[in-house]
Structure 1
Amino acid sequence: MEFNPGPPLLQSAPRRSFLKFTGLGLAGVALASAGCHIQKETPSGRLDIGEHDLAVLNYAYALEQLEGAFYEKVVAGFYGGASALEKDLLTDIRNDEIAHREWFSDVLVLKKVPRLQFDFSSINFTDRKSVLTTARTFEDLGVSAYNGAGQLLALSPFLNHAGKIVSVEARHAATIRNLLNFGSFADSDVIDANGLDGARTPAQVMALADKYFVTKISVADLPTH
């Protein structure tokens, strides 16, 4: 379940060379030169994540940091009774989330939010149900976040890559659901009558995810269409 950033020809290339080759490096440079302020607090005390595509990518970067930090903690000390299969799957998912996180870190160059701090005190990492239920929440939330924010991106290379990432997130969600309840990989609570995943706006996503963020971020300046 390792994250694949591109066609086989490019897989052996260093990540920064890959970004340059695909044009994402140039887009990242454009973001770096944009006149946007990062690490500036809003009047509410939240971290300003920029404007336009910069804001959308920083929003996704913040969510990938959340998922990465969660799975790092899960894998660092598996819950009691975790099977070999569960350990392998959760380790693979951790590796994917770290790859996603580091991709955003590279693309955002100098205009990125810092590494954020998270509060996982509501999660019992020694309990299988607590861990997998939280993992399901994060994966479902991630899928709906990409579906809701993809339309807000103006630069097509970013939109193309976000589409690849959300397909991996959906695989994660199905895997976790199957571990919790075999055969429940695409329940009606996340798939509509047309067989489509749901979408959430950044405000809706952060309303659900905010309790896990010690470092609070503001999505108020994200584009709305």
Structure 2
Amino acid sequence: MSKQQQSSGLPTLPGGIEPVMVGRRLFLRYAGAFAAGGALIASCKNAEENPITVPVSVDLGTGDIGILNYAYALEQLEAAFYTQVVATPYANMSAAELAILTDIRNHEIIHREFFKAALGTMAIGALVPEFGTVNFTDRTSVLSTAKAFEDLGVSAYNGAGNLITSPDYLLLAGKIVSVEARHAAAIRDLLNPKSADFAGDDVVAPATGLDVASKPTAVLPIAQTFVKTPITGANLPTA
């Protein structure tokens, strides 16, 4: 076991790959780059210059690796969305709203880079987002989409928990889903301030007090509408 693995506390992935924790310096590098919007703009420019390019289909894989790639795909989507939101603020975005959305963007970038580093050579490639249905100049359009993404992410982590065999990965998923739930509550409060909607009946069952859980077969078709890259989870575990 290397010193790096000892410090991260994560198990070695198949093939002897050691997970890598994303440090503050690495995060700041990514956050600064994406705050400028350069990577996203370059990606969009390349897509416009190569309109006939067809994205290669991505298979998430099997077992725990497949579930980690599943989470990585969702984090890619969320990170790309919030990067665009912060780079091009909607009309009359308040300083408080910008601060909240920037924090969420930073968290999603950290989550994305963590999964990318942890998966190493087994990570899927970069997905191409498709946000054509989102009006980034309109507050309601942006926050409604953010609400949908956060609710989807929370339900996805909840639904994938029992598909993970490694206790270490399950613990990590639990830590990340708790952050995603905080995001969901914050976005709901922006849309409907000081209401009970932060934990509405559509996401928390009144009878049980438990959050919604959705399997990959239900989540991926929804996520796919915001991603140009075809994604298949046909080989993911189901039980």
TM category (shorter chain) comes to: 0.7 to 0.9
Please give the alpha-carbon distance, in whole angstroms, between the structure 2 residues aligned to 1:110 and 1:224: 24
Structure 1 pair 115–195 and aligned structure 2 pair: CA distance change class (3 A): same
Please give the alpha-carbon distance, in whole angstroms, between the structure 2 residues aligned to 1:61 and 1:194: 29
Partner of 1:36: none
Give the drift of 1:22: 3.8
Gaps of 5+ in 2: 19-55
TM-score w.r.t. the length of structure 2 is 0.79
Give the drift of 1:28: 3.1
- 1:10-21 matches, cutoff 5 A: 20-21=6-7
Partner of 1:114: 125
Contact 1:136 1:173 (C-alpha < 8 Å) held by counterparts: yes
Partner of 1:202: 216
Please give the alpha-carbon distance, in whole angstroms, between the structure 2 residues aligned to 1:48 and 1:71: 25
Contact 1:56 1:222 (C-alpha < 8 Å) held by counterparts: yes
Contact 1:55 1:222 (C-alpha < 8 Å) held by counterparts: yes
Give the letter aligned to residue 154 of structure 1: T
Give the letter aligned to residue 23 of structure 1: G
Give the drift of 1:30: 4.4
Give the drift of 1:48: 1.4
Structure 1 pair 118–20 and aligned structure 2 pair: CA distance change class (3 A): farther
Please give the alpha-carbon distance, in whole angstroms, between the structure 2 residues aligned to 1:157 and 1:31: 16
Contact 1:31 1:108 (C-alpha < 8 Å) held by counterparts: no
Contact 1:116 1:214 (C-alpha < 8 Å) held by counterparts: yes
SS at match of 1:117: coil
Partner of 1:105: 116
Gaps of 5+ in 1: 1-15, 34-44
Partner of 1:3: none
Please give the alpha-carbon distance, in whole angstroms, between the structure 1 residues aligned to 2:100 and 2:63: 35
Q: Can you list the C-alpha shifts for 1:125-182, whole angstroms capped at 9, x where unaligned?
A: 0000000000000000000000000111111111100100000000000000000001
Give the letter aligned to residue 224 of structure 2: D
Identity of aligned residues (%): 52
Please give the alpha-carbon distance, in whole angstroms, between the structure 2 residues aligned to 1:165 and 1:135: 17
Partner of 1:189: 202
Contact 1:31 1:111 (C-alpha < 8 Å) held by counterparts: no
Please give the alpha-carbon distance, in whole angstroms, between the structure 2 residues aligned to 1:17 and 1:217: 35
CA RMSD of aligned residues (A): 1.8
Please give the alpha-carbon distance, in whole angstroms, between the structure 2 residues aligned to 1:71 and 1:222: 27
Please give the alpha-carbon distance, in whole angstroms, between the structure 2 residues aligned to 1:23 and 1:165: 16
Q: More displaced, 169-178 or 109-118? A: 109-118
Structure 1 pair 194–85 and aligned structure 2 pair: CA distance change class (3 A): same
TM-score w.r.t. the length of structure 1 is 0.84
Give the drift of 1:81: 0.7
Query: Post-superposition, which runs of at least 4 consecutive aligned residues in structure 1 deviate over 2 A?
Result: 16-23, 26-33
Please give the alpha-carbon distance, in whole angstroms, between the structure 2 residues aligned to 1:140 and 1:19: 33
Please give the alpha-carbon distance, in whole angstroms, between the structure 1 residues aligned to 2:211 and 2:224: 22
Please give the alpha-carbon distance, in whole angstroms, between the structure 1 residues aligned to 2:77 and 2:102: 16
